[in-house]
Amino acid sequence: MILHHWDTDGITSAAIYLKLNGDDVLFTPKIGNYYLDGEDFEQVGKYESVVILDMNIHEVQRLCSSMKLKIYDHHRANKVTCAEEHYNPYLWGERYPSCTVVLHRRFSYAPDYLVALGIVGDTGPKAKELDEWNIIKRAMIKHGKSFDDMQLATSLLDSSYRLNRRKEVMDNVYLVLQGIDDVLNSSQLLSNLDAIEKEIEYWVGLAEDRGNYYFLKMKSENHIISAVTRKLAWEHGKSAIVVNEKEDRDEFYIRSHDYSFDAQLIIDMAKREGYLGGGKKEVMGAVLPSGKGTIFAEKVVDLLGW
Ligand SMILES: [Mn+2]
């Protein structure tokens, strides 16, 4: 079985692994979970051998007692010593931009559009500044595509997880194996993008101007909070705070429009309170128990003196 991340890099990594080793059962965890819940654990546990691509799964060593485990990844991680192979450049202090680059290096897989799409998916426009940019450029020339086409292809592949469509994520592995044009022309994925854009616009229109920042409380099972926050901040030229109340959890997201605060302060606060949080200088997100999102947002507003 191949267990892979639900984003473009995870999808293209699974495609490369299939090309190298032949067809296999594909599996992606419940979207949003960087761990295996009871149901997922039971399903994965039925297999004698599992390859994990582009994911650092919490407590993954639980799988070792019943199976042969291999892990190829590029996220921050600790060595999983019980795995037959744990190949992650992070473990020896190197950073690779995508898991597709990990597979290219580990298996001498000749870089192609799959490797390129993985990099573009994980790094976006910053891909142009990487050493690996030449991989992307060669793929663009070979297939007659612009960088915009490459980015559109990754948005299309990502649209399935954004709309919480787990089976479609795995279908996309076979779709991308057919070629970039098959992705760009997929009517299903194109209509996904339409639906996502409409939903983002709907929520952005409901946000409230609070002087120093925009605030929005939304309710969506889709993975769009980061895109909603970004659109809010960019459209109004103000920082934005968004709380999304999902069925089983609250999500919190904040974006500074002018780097006027360091999001690390909020990441530290989330960690002190025992919540999962992460981000960069200008953005941060956190997952909180149901009902805690608004309370956390008030604390952040206090912390920032808004
Ligand atoms: Mn990745």
Q: What is the mean pLDDT of residues 48-58?
A: 95
pLDDT for the residue numbered 283: 87
Q: How far is the CA of 118 from the centre of ligand 1 (A)?
A: 7
Q: How far is the CA of 303 from the centre of ligand 1 (A)?
A: 32
Q: How far is the CA of 132 from the centre of ligand 1 (A)?
A: 14
pLDDT band, very low/low/confident/very high, at 281 (cuts 50, 70, 90): confident
pLDDT for the residue numbered 166: 97
Structural contact between residues 247 and 221, judged by C-beta atoms closer than 8 angstroms: yes
pLDDT for the residue numbered 232: 95
pLDDT exceeds 80 at position 189: yes
Q: How far is the CA of 306 from the centre of ligand 1 (A)?
A: 35
pLDDT for the residue numbered 206: 98
Q: Outline where the chain has alpha helix (H).
A: 8-21, 38-44, 99-106, 113-123, 133-143, 147-162, 166-178, 180-184, 187-204, 225-236, 264-272, 293-304
The percentage of the chain sitting over the pLDDT mark of 70, rounded to a whole number, equals: 100
Looking at domain 205-304, its CATH class is alpha beta
Q: How far is the CA of 160 from the centre of ligand 1 (A)?
A: 16
pLDDT for the residue numbered 264: 85
**How many Cα atoms occupy the beta-carbon half-sphere of 96 within 13 Å?**
24
pLDDT exceeds 80 at position 280: no
Q: How far is the CA of 213 from the centre of ligand 1 (A)?
A: 32
SS3 at position 190: helix
The percentage of the chain sitting over the pLDDT mark of 90, rounded to a whole number, equals: 87
Q: How far is the CA of 10 from the centre of ligand 1 (A)?
A: 6
Structural contact between residues 195 and 222, judged by C-beta atoms closer than 8 angstroms: no
What confidence tens digit (pLDDT) does each residue in 27-45 have? 999 998 888 999 999 999 9
Q: How far is the CA of 236 from the centre of ligand 1 (A)?
A: 31
Domain limits of the chain?
2-191, 205-304
Looking at domain 2-191, its CATH class is alpha beta
pLDDT for the residue numbered 263: 84
DSSP string over 271-302: HHTT-EEEE-SSEEEEEE-TT-HHHHHHHHHH
Q: What is the pTM of this model?
A: 0.90
Q: What is the mean pLDDT of residues 285-299?
A: 96
What confidence tens digit (pLDDT) does each residue in 132-170 have? 999 999 999 999 999 999 999 999 999 999 999 999 999
pLDDT for the residue numbered 37: 92
What confidence tens digit (pLDDT) does each residue in 211-257 have? 999 999 999 999 999 999 999 998 999 999 999 999 999 999 999 88
